[in-house]
């Protein structure tokens, strides 16, 4: 007897196919070609499995080798490969247990996202990827251009030739961006929020779910140059509505994967997180999140009996170690929403609280990870928003359309953002965010 | 009595709010601020409406003006605006009936897409947006770079300064792309298909739904520089499976919007398409699609009793007028799938048929529009694929990972692509594709 572990990629556990010596199928085995990574068409009878490992197995009658995989060269052998090595063969790594399971969990989290918001009447809105609007600018942005197009490495004989040939040079030697595709410098978006506000101020609650980009030169296990964000925006809503929505959304996602991906989560529990992963997720999904102010959070950290790497004082940002201390120790492994942060460490568009010192911002902290989502009520008062834009040194003129939303039929609205790969990382326990997306982009790497 | 047309953006028809003279609410009206575009909080009793236009109306007791909209300056007055004008105020245009209805139909088409594929066991896969892979190259691509970053218009004093300051210049004066973010020239994707094949060869059927880009300098009503594509890829599937999937998917989408967007579709029927829009969609959703070969399609055109602008002969591509003639006249307003196109007018990765002249490609043609989807069975035979890559003048080395999918466990697979805005255009009847996406990008325009 020979056993074949057949797997079509739809689940961790394959189907055990049993070939009896002397059968017609046995001859096919003898002929070779049935090896790790080969694609097979197998016919047989589904029978109860005598072993305890699976309920049923396939008693094989016919084997057809559709695609071979030479064992001498096939890069995925049965042994365990490191996740680092697998990243170098991203075209084959979704065939492994770990990366395949990530793909399935990621899919269920994406579908849960759509289902949750659709069931609550949110419209899915596609905000732009390329933007020449001056409003963005948070973080470093990738530039999008057609001025260099066709000038690959080595083909650009002198720097001047580009501007000559493209006639894209001003008399003073600067680039004439009126010759670029969009008529001005344009960039990849860092967030769909401002456009999301446009939509929410028109068609009621919306959510975005699309790629965003950061050209930060950071080679860490927590950053990607290209990542997907979920950004709901709630019309006629305040910070409490926003927190309620974030809590309900996260719980919905966790319950959804617990229900639909149990086998994959069990695999991560045993092989990746090596702890009580599912219990932790169930715990977060079933508890009411604690809600405290930033000021209370700082007090908790200052009163802690433990030493932190980074000191804290009112006005400085919470570090990951502080966030984890609060959610893991102060609140005993319970998610915590911290609200009302000092205005000086938050974005200009967050609504100024009556104390004039804090803004209606909130971060959702979860045990083990720290911040998973962040949001705010948006400043809907035209005069306050204009003042804030000036205070932080931005140009009011660039924000003309954003200000128009406050000029015409302004209304209180609020939203939050979730880095989708962070959620995948959190749910699967994979340590490096590069394993939470099929084709990760980071400094020096945009292969495949 | 005064009437207020209240609308929260969730539907075309608002709620009629009635204010009686002498009531407390009347004083609020008198005080001003209740004008087109203002945001209001209104309290009252829901009562049966005496007029026949709506079942219920709101008998107003209290009005609270949350955000005014100065009638002197508010760009959206009650009169009808052209769609061209509305594009210049993309931050306000989703508040109009037409663009709001497009947003709602678009949302339902997106959700139908996810639901259809999820219900059929497809995994949603995120393929990369930025790519330094040499495999793409269909159409003109946008380049993504950080070499020019920070060098806005006028700030770049001499072309050389960029390479000096960035140290991104080789000795021969060419750009040193090893200094760019990804270490080589990188671009925005034109399709997720090749990466989709990676996923389908690992985790079974998948679909993508994400933005794609073309830097074509075409200012037409049918092209966008940034658009969303739906690209399913079916594992262990041939062209017949592919056609079945495309037909079922399109019908599902149409039935879904017919069910969920009747009021919006009625609006489009009356104001945009000015014909029997819903009947046409129902017609497509309920009929079996005709299926013919390219050779038969050419014969139909050659035998036509009418004159065409473009002549046709076997080997040349079908033009839109030919496609419409076939689906509208030959098949009497029935969708038609044309298959087996000449290999020389199709992409290298499409599976070569036994006649050595045609490939297993298919296009779905619908009345009024012509091609709405296009797909193919992929060449899964390593030697044939290598030969085709050479024949069309591409470099085999660039495709190493794509060829690996045929080298290790190759299997017949197939897929298709749908330009999502084309579908939105088709369903809503809007003439210009720039009105089918909230923030359209085209030459000279990436505002908002």
pLDDT at A163 > cutoff 60:
no
pLDDT in tens, B347-370: 999 999 999 999 999 999 999 888
Q: Do A126 and B228 touch (CB under 8 A)?
A: yes
Identify which of B3, B124, B138 has the alpha carbon closest to the alpha carbon of residue A424.
Answer: B124
With residue A292 as reference, give the H or E element that holds it. strand A290-293
Q: Do A445 and B186 touch (CB under 8 A)?
A: no
C-alpha distance from residue A35 to each of A1, A2, A22, A62, A72 (Å): 16, 12, 19, 16, 11
Find the distance separating the first CA and the last CA of chain B, reported in whole Å.
40
pLDDT of residue A139: 54
pLDDT of residue A136: 58
Residue of A nearest to B147 (CA): A143
Of B69, B149, B202, the CB nearest to A100: B202
- Residue B440, min C-alpha distance to chain A (Å): 8
What's the rounded Cα separation, in Å, for the pair B52 and B56?
9
Q: How confident is the model at residue B139 (pLDDT cuts 50, 70, 90)?
A: low
**pLDDT above 70: percentage of residues in chain B:** 93
Q: How confident is the model at residue B167 (pLDDT cuts 50, 70, 90)?
A: low
What's the rounded Cα separation, in Å, for the pair B5 and B34?
11
The answer to whether the beta carbons of residues A98 and A435 sit under 8 Å apart is yes
pLDDT of residue B158: 35
Angle CA B275–B264–B110, to nearest 5: 110
Burial code of A429-444, b = ≥16 C-beta within 10 A, e = fewer? bbeebbbbbbbbbbbb
The answer to whether the beta carbons of residues B443 and A182 sit under 8 Å apart is yes
Domain spans of chain B, in order of start:
2-74, 95-122+228-435
pLDDT in tens, B226-283: 999 999 999 999 999 999 999 999 999 999 999 999 999 999 999 999 999 999 999 9
- Residues 6 or more apart from A434 whose CB is under 8 A from it? A87, A221, A224, A440, A442
pLDDT of residue A154: 36
What's the rounded Cα separation, in Å, for the pair B95 and B77?
11
Q: Do B448 and A133 touch (CB under 8 A)?
A: yes
Q: CB count, 10 Å around CB of A312?
A: 18
Question: Which ipTM score applies to this complex?
Answer: 0.95
- Identify the residue with better confidence: B438 or A370: B438
- Residue B107, min C-alpha distance to chain A (Å): 5
Question: What is chain A's mean pLDDT, rounded?
Answer: 92
CB pairs under 8 A between A and B: 353
CA B7 from chain centre, in angstroms, equals: 28
The backbone torsions φ and ψ at residue A377, rounded to the nearest 5 degrees and listed phi first, read -80, 140
Q: Do A104 and B92 touch (CB under 8 A)?
A: no
- Residue B175, min C-alpha distance to chain A (Å): 6
pLDDT of residue B176: 77
pLDDT of residue A276: 95
Alpha carbons within 13 angstroms on the beta-carbon side of residue B49 total 14
What's the rounded Cα separation, in Å, for the pair B337 and B147?
46
pLDDT of residue B169: 58
Identify which of A75, A109, A214 has the alpha carbon closest to the alpha carbon of residue A436.
Answer: A109
pLDDT at B164 > cutoff 90:
no
Of B74, B75, B203, the CB nearest to A103: B203
**pLDDT above 90: percentage of residues in chain B:** 82
pLDDT at B161 > cutoff 80:
no
Of B37, B114, B157, the CB nearest to A173: B157
Pick among A91, A187, A194, A434 to test the B interface (most B CBs inside 10 A): A91
CATH number of B95-122+228-435: 3.30.930.10
What's the rounded Cα separation, in Å, for the pair B92 and A409?
11
Residue of B nearest to A219 (CA): B181
Q: Do B152 and A185 touch (CB under 8 A)?
A: yes
- Residues 6 or more apart from B54 whose CB is under 8 A from it? B13, B15, B16
pLDDT at A160 > cutoff 50:
no
Q: How confident is the model at residue A171 (pLDDT cuts 50, 70, 90)?
A: low
**pLDDT above 70: percentage of residues in chain A:** 93
Helix (H, G, I), strand (E, B) or coil at B134: coil
Query: For residue A387, what are its two tokens?
Result: 């003042």
Residue of A nearest to B448 (CA): A133
Alpha carbons within 13 angstroms on the beta-carbon side of residue A143 total 21
pLDDT of residue A216: 87
- Residue A49, min C-alpha distance to chain B (Å): 25
Q: Do A104 and B203 touch (CB under 8 A)?
A: yes
Query: For residue B69, what are its two tokens?
Result: 């909209």
What's the rounded Cα separation, in Å, for the pair B310 and B190?
28
What's the rounded Cα separation, in Å, for the pair A314 and A299?
9
pLDDT in tens, A6-24: 999 999 999 999 999 988 8
Q: Do A103 and B118 touch (CB under 8 A)?
A: no
Q: Do B100 and A127 touch (CB under 8 A)?
A: no
Angle CA B13–B19–B20, to nearest 5: 145
Helix (H, G, I), strand (E, B) or coil at A321: helix
Of A128, A186, A211, the CB nearest to B129: A211
pLDDT at A297 > cutoff 60:
yes
Least confident of B50-54, B90-94, B147-151, B331-335: B147-151
pLDDT of residue B151: 45
Beta-sheet pairing, A56-67 with A290-293: unpaired
Least confident of A22-36, A187-201, A354-368: A22-36
pLDDT of residue A137: 57
What's the rounded Cα separation, in Å, for the pair A190 and A192?
7
pLDDT at A159 > cutoff 80:
no
Q: CB count, 10 Å around CB of B360?
A: 24
Pick among A219, A238, A446 to test the B interface (most B CBs inside 10 A): A446
Q: Do B130 and A446 touch (CB under 8 A)?
A: yes
Q: How confident is the model at residue A54 (pLDDT cuts 50, 70, 90)?
A: confident
CATH number of A95-126+201-435: 3.30.930.10
Q: How confident is the model at residue B50 (pLDDT cuts 50, 70, 90)?
A: confident
Q: Length of chain B in residues, anyone?
A: 448
Q: How confident is the model at residue A158 (pLDDT cuts 50, 70, 90)?
A: very low
Beta-sheet pairing, A39-48 with A123-124: unpaired
Question: What is chain B's mean pLDDT, rounded?
Answer: 92
Q: Do B211 and A151 touch (CB under 8 A)?
A: no
- Residue B237, min C-alpha distance to chain A (Å): 12
Of B73, B125, B409, the CB nearest to A438: B125
The answer to whether the beta carbons of residues A365 and A422 sit under 8 Å apart is no
Of A37, A100, A448, the CB nearest to B401: A448
């Amino acid at each position: 007897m020979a056993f074949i572990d057949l797997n079509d990629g739809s689940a961790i556990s394959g189907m055990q196919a049993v070939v009896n010596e002397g059968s017609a199928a046995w001859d096919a085995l003898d002929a070779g070609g049935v090896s790790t990574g080969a694609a097979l068409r197998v016919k047989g009878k589904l029978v109860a499995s005598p072993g305890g490992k699976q309920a049923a197995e396939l008693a094989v009658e016919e084997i057809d080798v559709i695609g071979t995989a030479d064992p001498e060269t096939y890069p995925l052998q049965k042994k365990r490969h490191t996740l680092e090595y697998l990243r170098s063969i991203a075209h084959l790594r979704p065939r492994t247990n770990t990366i395949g399971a990530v793909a399935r969990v990621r899919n269920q989290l994406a579908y849960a996202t759509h289902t949750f918001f659709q069931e609550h009447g949110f419209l899915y809105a596609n905000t732009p990827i390329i933007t020449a609007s001056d409003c963005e600018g948070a973080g470093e942005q990738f530039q999008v251009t057609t001025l260099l197009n066709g000038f690959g490495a080595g083909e650009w004989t002198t720097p001047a030739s580009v501007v000559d040939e493209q006639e894209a040079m001003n008399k003073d030697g600067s680039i004439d961006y009126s010759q670029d595709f969009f008529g001005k410098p344009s960039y990849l978006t860092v967030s769909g929020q401002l456009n999301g506000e446009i939509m929410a101020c028109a068609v009621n609650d919306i959510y975005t779910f699309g790629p965003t980009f950061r050209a930060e030169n950071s080679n860490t296990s927590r950053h990607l140059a290209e990542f997907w964000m979920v950004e709901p925006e709630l019309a006629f809503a305040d910070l409490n509505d926003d927190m309620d929505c974030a809590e309900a959304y996260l719980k919905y996602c966790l319950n959804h994967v617990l229900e639909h991906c149990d086998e994959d989560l069990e695999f991560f529990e045993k092989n990746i997180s090596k702890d009580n992963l599912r219990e932790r997720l169930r715990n977060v999904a079933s508890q009411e999140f604690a809600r405290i102010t930033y000021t209370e959070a700082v007090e908790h950290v200052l009163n802690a009996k433990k030493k932190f790497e980074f000191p804290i004082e009112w006005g400085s940002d919470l570090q990951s170690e502080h966030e984890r201390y609060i959610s893991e120790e102060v609140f005993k492994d319970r998610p915590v929403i911290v609200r009302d942060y000092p205005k000086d460490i938050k974005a200009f568009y967050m609504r100024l609280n009556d104390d004039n010192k804090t803004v209606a911002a909130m971060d959702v902290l979860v045990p083990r990870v720290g911040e998973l989502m962040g949001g705010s009520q948006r400043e809907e008062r035209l005069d306050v928003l204009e003042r804030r834009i000036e205070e932080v040194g931005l140009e009011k003129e660039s924000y003309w359309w954003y200000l128009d939303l406050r000029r015409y039929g302004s209304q209180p609205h609020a939203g939050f953002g979730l880095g989708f790969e962070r959620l995948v990382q959190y749910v699967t326990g994979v340590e490096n965010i590069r394993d939470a997306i099929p084709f990760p982009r980071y400094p020096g790497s945009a292969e495949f």
